[in-house]
Amino acid sequence: MNNILDRLYAESHDDLASFAFDDAVVRVFPDMIQRSVPGYTTIIPMIGIITSHYVQPDSTLYDLGCSLGEATLAMRHCVDKPGCKIVAVDNSEAMIQRCQTYLDADSSRVPVELLLDDIRHITMSHASVVTLNFTLQFIAPEDRLPLLNNIVNGLNEGGVLILSEKLMFDQDEQMLQEALHYDFKRANGYSELEISQKRTALENYLIPETLEQHRERLLAAGFKQAVLWYQCFNFCSLLAVK
Ligand SMILES: C[S@@+](CC[C@H](N)C(=O)[O-])C[C@H]1O[C@@H](n2cnc3c(N)ncnc32)[C@H](O)[C@@H]1O
């Protein structure tokens, strides 16, 4: 995927609009997510490893909030059971259009159905692996449990959800983890202005929760097990097993 450098927040904006996954973001998205999310470049290939372990024959794999399809492609290249397909869903038309070009250029023969839709409204069934890679944090908090219930209902026994999220902590740890995250962004070339304007744009749109909130809700939704398999600063990934 070609990486055009993210400079969306490099100039001062008097009137900062709320963040949106629009054309401007799509153009710089691979660069933006790699330079902003510690661990993203580790999590993507590990989604492939987890997929190989849990994929079941004749099952469907779902990538919810697929953006440009990085997790979709990681899963696609690790499906080693017959009769599987992937359904990748995003409600940003700009993301879906660009994602289709990446999927078309990819050599794997595992079928991928790309849906322009709201992940809160899709029906899932016969699922073995579901991915929510940094997507749940953009869903209104009151809609999160219903979405997880829907995922559990669509999963086969032994199926899994890979849930990656930005985390919140108690006050002292929050300051420590946040400071390290901003150091990560500075080390990747973002200025103080870019960091502060992006933070303002994401306020009230990206709503992080604590690790405990995630674990408790996953168990309340009906998963048997919910384990933290990865954390880097205030970003993590959980594996929940039905
Ligand atoms: C941070 S990106 C996800 C990154 C992607 N999973 C990856 O691994 O590269 C969040 C994505 O979720 C999508 N999204 C947010 N709310 C959604 C909803 N209600 N239904 C479908 N997609 C949604 C956004 O359009 C965006 O593409």
* pTM across the whole model: 0.94
28 CA distance to ligand 1 middle (Å): 15
Residue 48 belongs to a domain:
yes
The phi, psi pair for 230, rounded to 5°, reads: -155, 140
Q: Determine contact, residues 122/148, Cβ cutoff 8 Å.
A: no
**Ligand 1: residues whose CB is within 6 Å?**
21, 33, 65-67, 70-71, 89-92, 95, 118-120, 133-135, 138-139
- Domain range enclosing 72: 1-6+14-134+147-242
61 CA distance to ligand 1 middle (Å): 16
Closest residue by Cα to atom 1, ligand 1, is 134
196 CA distance to ligand 1 middle (Å): 22
157 CA distance to ligand 1 middle (Å): 26
Q: Determine contact, residues 135/64, Cβ cutoff 8 Å.
A: yes
Q: How many domains does the chain have?
A: 1
- Compute the C-alpha angle 146/168/230, nearest 5°: 85
Within a 10 A sphere around the Cβ of 222, how many other Cβ atoms?
14
The tens place of each residue's pLDDT in the chain, 242 residues long, gives: 455 686 776 666 666 667 677 787 788 788 889 989 999 999 999 999 999 999 999 999 999 999 999 999 999 999 999 999 999 999 999 999 999 999 999 999 999 999 999 999 999 999 999 999 999 999 999 999 999 999 999 999 999 999 999 999 999 999 999 999 999 999 998 877 778 777 877 788 899 999 999 999 999 999 999 999 999 999 999 999 99
Query: Measuring CA to CA, which residue among 234, 75, 94 is closest to residue 164?
Result: 234
Residue 140 belongs to a domain:
no
Nearest atom, ligand 1, residue 29 CA: 9
CATH number of the structural domain spanning residue 120: 3.40.50.150
